[in-house]
Amino acid sequence: MISFSLDEEQQIIQETVRKFAAEWVRPQLREWERAGTVSDEARRAFHELGLGLLEVPEALGGAGASAVTAALVQEELGFGDAGAAVALWSPHLVTAALVELGDEAQARRFFSRFAESSVRLGAVAYSERGTTPLEGFSTVAVKRGDGYSLSGTKAFVVNGGCADLTVVFAQIEPGRGWGGVGAWVVEAGMPGMRAGARHELLGLDAAHIAEVVFDGCLVPEENRLRGGPHGLPKGVQRYFARAALMTAARQVGLARAAYEFALGYTQERRAFGKPVAHFQAIAFTLAEMLMDVEAARWMVWRAAASQKLDEVALAATHANEAAWRVADQAVQLLGGAGYVQDYPVEKWLRDTKALALTAPTDQLSQLAVASAELGHALDGGWPSSTIQPMVT
């Protein structure tokens, strides 16, 4: 039975976050972009919505919400501002990693921190400038007594160097690629971890994205994440599938924002005695934009409901491309007004590009789509890139 209806709880959550985005996020879009962060008041207000441990299973103290519900939240936040969506969702980066990569004791120990405080930040650090994460890392972990010593520099990390908890991937067995990778939770204040340079960005400025440096950072054995019952590569695959889905949902929200703005603007703006929206070329463009938004949303919902990796990859690829098209068309339909900062449309074009570059990138999602169709893993897909359901 196929249903495109939301249940009552989902409708309430959707409405709640829509209101939050309208009241807290959209009005501060430029201020947060300039400040390079969202305000602590907004973090507290978001925390009070009770969405802190949304996707964490109930047995582990979370709300146990479905991926569809999480996607609804992301669409609304993305509609408000994609940069704020990334910043406000940061604890979920770590909770999602712990759900997929940690064991129950680790989950309980670390989740409580995000449950109790509204301004705690999370980070997941894998990218590096010198290596591609698909092949392994130059950041290394060496066994030292009861724990590990981590050394290396991570780049492009949301909340890099300022998070309360940072999940770090490092090479424990050099030369074995993903077979030799380990993951650890580094807690703020552990000696040997420090903030590196903050990156200047094309978009998503409200999210703090920076390098984080490990210089003999000692991490105890109990902070090592072993990937749950299916091992680390499978857990990582599931983690990135979740991340791709949430990014896709944000792209839907961003695209909806751009479409609605262009729809309103072109009905106000007049040429030759009528609104420009009444010229067929403009009207058709609006129709194409709406098709992109709707199709992207349905694909995200389907993938969230099925949790199948090939459907996640398809939804992610489509959402990235659709949002880029819609934001580009919105700039075009506004003419000069689309290119100036008096309106948010130019920002959406910059932000959608940044979202498409977060892991897994658009190309890697396409690679997964092609792998599914061809029936075998292609070179350079995410570790263990055979197509598996996310839920086993």
Smallest distance from ligand FAD to CB 282, Å: 32
Smallest distance from ligand FAD to CB 83, Å: 9
Smallest distance from ligand FAD to CB 126, Å: 4
Residue among 132, 341, 386, 392 that touches ligand FAD (CB under 6 A) = 132
Residue 219: its H or E element: strand 209-220
DSSP 41-90: HHHHHHHHTT-TTTTS-GGGTS----HHHHHHHHHHHHHH-HHHHHHHTH
The residues pairing with 215 across neighbouring beta strands, listed in sequence order, are 151
- Do residues 370 and 288 lie in contact, with contact meaning Cβ atoms separated by under 8 Å? no
- Identify which of 184, 303, 188 has the alpha carbon closest to the alpha carbon of residue 243: 303
| Token pair for 41 | 């008041």
Residue among 29, 53, 157, 236 that touches ligand FAD (CB under 6 A) = 157
Range in contact with ligand FAD (rule: CB under 6 A) among 56-64, 149-157, 214-222, 283-291: 149-157
| Token pair for 224 | 């090592």
How many residues bind ligand FAD (CB under 6 A)? The answer is: 22
Range in contact with ligand FAD (rule: CB under 6 A) among 10-18, 119-127, 145-153, 244-252: 119-127
Residue among 204, 246, 326, 372 that touches ligand FAD (CB under 6 A) = 204
Q: Closest CB to ligand FAD among 333 and 364?
A: 364
Range in contact with ligand FAD (rule: CB under 6 A) among 103-111, 156-164, 286-294, 311-319: 156-164
Range in contact with ligand FAD (rule: CB under 6 A) among 62-70, 109-117, 261-269, 354-362: 354-362
Smallest distance from ligand FAD to CB 47, Å: 20
Q: Does 158 bind ligand FAD (CB under 6 A)?
A: yes
- Do residues 224 and 104 lie in contact, with contact meaning Cβ atoms separated by under 8 Å? no
Q: Closest CB to ligand FAD among 68 and 210?
A: 210
List alpha helices for the chain, DSSP H: 8-20, 29-35, 40-48, 67-80, 82-88, 90-101, 104-116, 232-268, 280-306, 309-334, 345-357, 362-374
The residues pairing with 214 across neighbouring beta strands, listed in sequence order, are 152, 193
Smallest distance from ligand FAD to CB 116, Å: 23
